[in-house]
Amino acid sequence: MPANPVPKNAVLTGCLCAACCEILHGMSYAFTKHSTGVAGVFFVLGWRFLLAAAVMTLGIAAGLIKVRFRGKPLKPLLHVVLLCPCVYFLGETLGISRTTSTECGIFVACIPVISLIASAAILKNRPSRLQVVGIVTTLAGMVTCVAAAGMTSSLSVPGYLFLSVAVISYSLFFVCVDKASAYTGAELAYAMQIAGAVLFTALAVLEAVRKGCLGDLVCLPFRDTSFLISVLYLGIGCSVFAFWLSAVAVERLGVNRAASFIGVATLVSVLTGTLMLREPLTLMQIAGAVLIVLGVYMANAVRGKSE
């Protein structure tokens, strides 16, 4: 039995936070796909994070959210915000705009395995034999899904490359959150919203100025109801609540166990992509998704009653 076992209530809270976070993320791919069809990638990201930062700032001003950055190390926080939202959301949004919601969800399912590898390399957590088998199974599922997509649609190599960048950056993000233990979930979430708002709003303004459509950028949410609904869901539902839930889950469960819930996002993304966006779903894609989720389970299987 571990010297300092994690309280059952903490584990339960962490599991609930991780599951709710991934449900929100799984549905977000459909909203991202829709919004990038209405406006440019930087327009979507700029409005998303600007809304998220504004909501959290109001919450802090009202005393509903408690943050305290003074006296805490800056380097771990910079690593977190660089990987997510800066690198991750560029890769994810550019990837979704070139592929489908279903394909994005399938790629994202590989994050727990990459997190496991990163955890072994950086945190020196050596994987077990079962975890190695899980990694191989997930990679087999990934190859199956990519092959299926190539048979049923135009194979988007740039889209897959962007999604691969997103997967790697988010996997490293999990490890960096684990190392940024001096910060609370709310503090990490707020720092990420501010970083995303500064970067992506600046990129959106530069793109609008270059195209001579700055007025369109400012007025877009007020002229297009569907775009407004999408960025509200992405900004408040995902960038605020899901980021906070993710940070709490890592704090309560650790990197590998929190990351293992990403399979939930894959299943939700497949369902929403098929039902909401009418995206095609083949038996081969289903088989690949099952292999990925099975591999994720094996890679993060918990041994021992104490754990």
pLDDT for residue 3: 45
Half-sphere exposure of 289 (CA within 13 A, CB side): 23
Q: Beta strands of the chain (E only): which ranges?
A: none
Domain boundaries, the chain: 9-299
The length of the chain is 307
Q: What share of the chain is helix, strand, coil (3-state, %, to 5)?
A: 80, 0, 20
Most confident of 58-67, 111-120, 170-179, 181-190: 58-67
Radius of gyration of the chain (CA): 19
How distant, in Å, are the alpha carbons of 81, 231, 303 from that of 10?
25, 32, 19
How distant, in Å, are the alpha carbons of 24, 150, 161, 239 from that of 82?
22, 32, 19, 15
Nearest 5°: the CA angle 249, 254, 256 is 105
Cβ contacts of 276 within 8 Å, gap of 6 or more? 30
* DSSP structure class, residue 64: S
pLDDT for residue 307: 42
pLDDT in tens, 206-263: 999 999 999 999 999 999 999 999 999 999 998 888 877 887 887 787 766 776 677 6
Amino acid identity at 294: L
Q: Which band of pLDDT confidence, cut at 50, 70 and 90, is reported for residue 2? A: very low
Instruction: Provide the greatest CA pair distance for the chain.
Output: 64
3-state SS assignment for residue 105? helix
Task: Pick the more confident residue, 299 or 124.
Answer: 124
How distant, in Å, are the alpha carbons of 107, 114, 115, 116 from that of 121?
22, 11, 10, 9
How distant, in Å, are the alpha carbons of 234, 279, 303 from that of 255?
24, 32, 16
Distance (Å, rounded) from C-alpha 229 to C-alpha 231? 6
Contact between residue 268 and residue 27 where contact means Cβ atoms under 8 Å apart = yes
Distance (Å, rounded) from C-alpha 188 to C-alpha 40? 27
pTM reported for the whole predicted model: 0.78
* DSSP structure class, residue 67: -
pLDDT in tens, 45-79: 999 999 999 999 999 999 988 999 999 999 999 99
